[in-house]
A and B are shown apart, each in its own frame.
Chain A
Amino acid sequence: MNLSRFGMVIWKEFKHIYRDPVSLRLVILMPLLFTLLFGYAITTDVEHIGLAVYDGDQSYESRELIRKFVASDYFSLEQMAGDSLQLEALLDAGEVKAALVIPEGYGKKLKRGEVPESLLIIDGTDPTIARTALQSGNLIANVYNMRTLSDGVFQVAEMKTRVWYNPNLESAKFIIPGLIGLIMQNITVMLTAFALVREKEKGTIEQLIVTPLRPVELILGKLVPYIMIGSIDFLIALFFGTWYFHVPINGSIFLLLGLGFLFVISALAIGMLISTVTKNQLQSMQLAFITILPTVLLSGFMFPRDGMPLAVYWLGNLFPMTYFLEILRGIILKGIGLEYLWKEVAGMTAIGALLLAAAIKKFHKSLD
């Protein structure tokens, strides 16, 4: 590799980016916008489920239970029903998505130290809302019961309930680190997916091919400016996402930044490979989408990978994003370090290096 040729490609690529102020602004705006948009889309769809209540007990305890439901932010009280028939009608009309029935004697049972029964009916048409409503409803009722039961009995029990409280925050904590990874992957793959095809479309590649420039100098030279941009994007997505959605970073920030840098390179390599095998921007756009979309499912962003069939599981191993997700959640949530994450780091590095080598190998200095 000739260093001055390599340096010249970097310099030229920076000029292209610098002379295109629109894309420059987009590069800064994208991580902000995506983090906000996706962050809200994923963490707020579970809030404020319309709730109707039939309180057959009319005791302090039953009113307290209703108050807990409302205070959780998961439910908003739409209507108090006079009887359970009216509740059914409200559900049927779709005016509420959930209905809570508190039978007579609820308060008495609770005072006697028994676990009282209450009924939460959920409209299952939208499974996501239904599942969340079910889980959070259960949780709220349990927490309330446990708390009431433990009142004045064990201080320990009281503390335990506090940990479980506000599950909303827990879901954001789980979602946001993964989201940062997903957003970073999408931005970086797009950045380089066009890097070479733009030259193919404009015809400037023809002049470049008749020079002694080597593929490794061209591919790596084009990569360097985007590594810098991708790293800046990662900083924005990471700090904005964790600050805005109140997700503390429990582990080492420096380790996270270092591994984020490594991920940016690996993801850029995907885009570069796409750029070498496609002929125009439309093709690379399509190929980028085909590559990005399955990672949402395969990487473990949405569903845990443990339950997947073996073939699908292995397919997930091909994407740097899969490893980075483990790294992000590990460092941000669990606060663990390299001693636990070395396998993911090794996997991500290997895949990244392989992708880069493939991009360099796939780039032929010819127009055929």
Chain B
Amino acid sequence: MNGYLIETEDLRKAFGDVTAVDGISLKIPAGSIYGILGPNGAGKSTTIRMLCGLLTPSSGKARVNGLDVYTQSEQIKQRLGYMSQSFSLYDDLTVLENLRFYATIYGVRGREREERIRQLIAMAGITGRERQLAGTLSGGWKQRLALGCALIHKPQLLVLDEPTAGVDPVARRVFWELIFKLAAQGITVLITTHYMDEAQSCDRIAFVFGGKILAEGTPAELVASGEFRNLEDVFIDYVEQTTGQKVRSSFEEIKFLLRSDGGGVQ
């Protein structure tokens, strides 16, 4: 395993004519928080789904904890916690029922199960809402319940697909505090995001665009690789290079227009 929990080589996935993932090679160190950053449709979810055994790759290699995603995906699932991009627990089951269901499915039983559920409810801060239907929880609570369900079997790898999308800043902060705690316990976290500040919090990041990795490294390395002020600059620069379009200058133009408009009023 040589210190990497996940290794992929030239991983590809095509849906008919659309190539969602176009040759991604990753090495994710065990125990790290690894971020995949990229705009809508970049191929983040597709990459993650192939690693979790939800989608079969079209070609390329991928190993999770030394296990092959083509042939050993059921074994991979035993030690993997996954939170999908949209809430996919049962709306018509209560918080407790959802947790019990997944605990039993993962083979956590009896006293151990109740103890584990109690811990996770406390950790996720959903105490007092155990008997509420999951569908009636608000965004932040749902997110933390889903995290709880993903952790019920003490996985060594936690895969989170845009876990903080549509969640308010405070709830996002609380969520990241949890992720840091989990990483400190030695759990490897693979997370996708749109947000620069979240990317900044990762140990390493891969910037994915059009199904390809454009840049990879620690946030500090990436910023230091050129004359950049911050991560945002780095990525805008890469997008401009790849697409040949001037994202930044067009943004400046808008600012300029706004300023001249404002001047006109005064």
Contact = CB atoms under 8 A, between A and B. Distances in A.
A26 interface: no
B55 A367 contact: yes
11 contacts: A4-B109, A12-B90, A16-B90, A203-B88, A204-B88, A207-B102, A208-B105, A209-B53, A210-B80, A211-B105, A365-B74
Contacts of B172: none
Interface of A: 2, 4-5, 7-8, 11-12, 15-16, 19-20, 202-213, 365-368
Contacts of B74: 212, 365
A207 B84 CA distance: 7
Given A210-B54, A366-B56, A203 B86 contact: yes
A8 B105 contact: yes
B102 A365 contact: no
A353 to B, nearest CB: 25
B92 A8 contact: no
A8 B86 CA distance: 24
A4 B74 CA distance: 18
B56 A368 contact: yes
B101 A212 contact: no
B52 interface: yes
Interface of B: 49, 52-56, 73-74, 77-78, 80, 82, 84, 86-93, 97, 100-102, 104-107, 109, 149
Contacts of B107: 2, 4-5, 212
B55 A5 contact: no
Contacts of A204: 88-90
Contacts of A4: 104, 107, 109
B177 to A, nearest CB: 24
Instruction: Identify the interface centre among B90, B93, B97: most chain A CB within 10 Å of its CB.
Output: B90
A4 B108 CA distance: 10
A213 B93 CA distance: 19
A211 B56 contact: no
Q: Is the interface of A mostly helix, strand, loop or mixed?
A: helix
B188 to A, nearest CB: 16
Given A8-B105, A203-B86, A207-B149, A15 B93 contact: yes
Given A8-B104, A211-B105, 16 more contacts: A2-B107, A5-B104, A7-B104, A8-B100, A8-B105, A16-B92, A202-B88, A202-B91, A207-B89, A207-B149, A209-B54, A210-B53, A210-B80, A211-B77, A212-B105, A366-B56
B55 A368 contact: yes
Contacts of B52: 210
B88 A211 contact: no
A16 B134 CA distance: 13
Contact of B54 (A2, A11, A12, A366): A366
A16 B109 CA distance: 22
A359 to B, nearest CB: 20
Contacts of A20: 92
What 9 pairs between A and B have smallest CB-CB spacing? A8-B104, A207-B88, A210-B82, A19-B92, A203-B88, A211-B105, A206-B84, A206-B88, A367-B54
A211 B84 contact: no
A220 to B, nearest CB: 15
Contacts of A15: 92-93, 97
A211 B92 contact: no
A5 B105 contact: yes
Given A207-B149, A210-B53, A367-B49, A12 B93 contact: yes
Contacts of B102: 207, 211
A207 B102 CA distance: 9
Contact of A212 (B56, B93, B100, B106): B106
A207 B78 CA distance: 13
Given A210-B82, A212-B78, A365 B53 contact: yes
A207 B93 CA distance: 14
Nearest to B101: A12
Contacts of A366: 53-56
Most buried by A among B49, B54, B73, B107: B54
Given A206-B54, A366-B55, A368-B55, A213 B105 contact: yes
Contacts of A16: 90, 92-93
Contact of A207 (B55, B82, B91): B82
Nearest to B58: A368
B256 to A, nearest CB: 43
Nearest to B90: A204
Nearest to B84: A206
- Residue of B82, B104, B105 contacting most chain A CB atoms (<10 Å): B105
A207 B92 CA distance: 15
Contacts of B80: 210
A10 to B, nearest CB: 11
Nearest to B87: A203
A212 B104 contact: no
